């Protein structure tokens, strides 16, 4: 005998159409979550890269500043000097800074140079340390900071900041030195600068 009992709809399960609709909604939600996660990850990566670039610029300025503070020059010291040259590389402002100072990387007095050169289409800040008493020595510069937009050094003369100086002509080192490093952060130039005063032989 056929069972003629009827069951309520709640016990019949889902229809194929309802499953398809639920699957489509789930797919949309997962796509939105993935897009949000991907954009957040890109933003975090970009922030991390920017912070690293800023930290590298700050570290480079700290190193240069400490060495400039310890620069040594004296008229009676024939191997001591301070020379600042204004240069232009592919329309970008750069400086070449050379001076004698005490560096923690070497023993005794060192001839230190900071300059910018183009490398693989990117401007790179280099550092060179030589022995000021050996003119036959040719040291190779090492990468200090890649991807700079400009490296500018200025010295104070009176009330003005100038971009050239040579103790062979002035007979004295500058009283103040301003170091500026500019790098691209998210396609925008960001400049960090520091002003230092040579301490050895200077007034306290």
Position 65 scores a pLDDT of 92
pTM recorded for the entire structure: 0.72
- Give per-residue pLDDT as tens, 154-170: 999 989 999 999 999 99
Position 14 scores a pLDDT of 66
Pick from 117, 187, 153, 145: nearest CA to 56: 145
- Decide: helix, strand or coil at residue 80: coil
DSSP code of 46? H
- Decide: helix, strand or coil at residue 149: strand
Does some domain include residue 15? no
Helical (H) or strand (E) element with 166: strand 165-166
Residue 149: domain span: 54-196
Total structural domains within the chain: 1
For the chain, list residues with pLDDT below 70: 1-14, 37-48, 76, 105, 135-137, 200-204
Does some domain include residue 203? no
Does some domain include residue 62? yes
Position 178 scores a pLDDT of 96
Does some domain include residue 107? yes
Does some domain include residue 188? yes
Does some domain include residue 21? no
Helical (H) or strand (E) element with 196: strand 188-196
Position 9 scores a pLDDT of 52
13 conformational bin, left if phi > 0, alpha if psi -120 to 50, beta if neither: left
Does some domain include residue 33? no
Position 11 scores a pLDDT of 53
Position 147 scores a pLDDT of 84
Position 47 scores a pLDDT of 53
């Amino acid at each position: 005998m056929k069972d003629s009992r009827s069951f309520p709809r709640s016990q019949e399960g889902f229809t194929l159409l309802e499953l398809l609709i639920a699957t489509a909604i789930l797919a949309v939600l997962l796509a939105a979550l993935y897009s949000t996660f991907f954009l957040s990850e890109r933003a975090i990566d970009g922030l991390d890269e920017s912070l690293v670039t800023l930290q590298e610029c700050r570290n480079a300025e700290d190193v240069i500043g400490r060495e400039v503070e310890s620069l040594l020059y004296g008229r009676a010291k024939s191997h001591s000097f301070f020379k600042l040259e204004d240069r232009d590389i592919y329309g970008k402002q750069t400086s070449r800074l050379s001076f004698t100072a005490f560096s923690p990387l070497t023993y005794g007095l060192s001839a230190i140079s900071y300059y910018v050169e183009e490398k693989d289409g990117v401007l790179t800040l280099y550092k060179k340390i030589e022995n000021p008493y050996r003119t036959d020595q040719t040291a190779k510069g090492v990468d200090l900071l890649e991807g700079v937009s400009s490296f500018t050094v200025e010295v104070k003369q009176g009330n003005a900041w100038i971009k050239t100086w040579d103790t062979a002509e002035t007979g004295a080192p500058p009283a103040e030195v301003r170091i500026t490093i500019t790098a691209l952060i998210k396609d925008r130039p960001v400049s960090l600068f520091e002003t230092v005063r040579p301490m050895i032989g200077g007034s306290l």
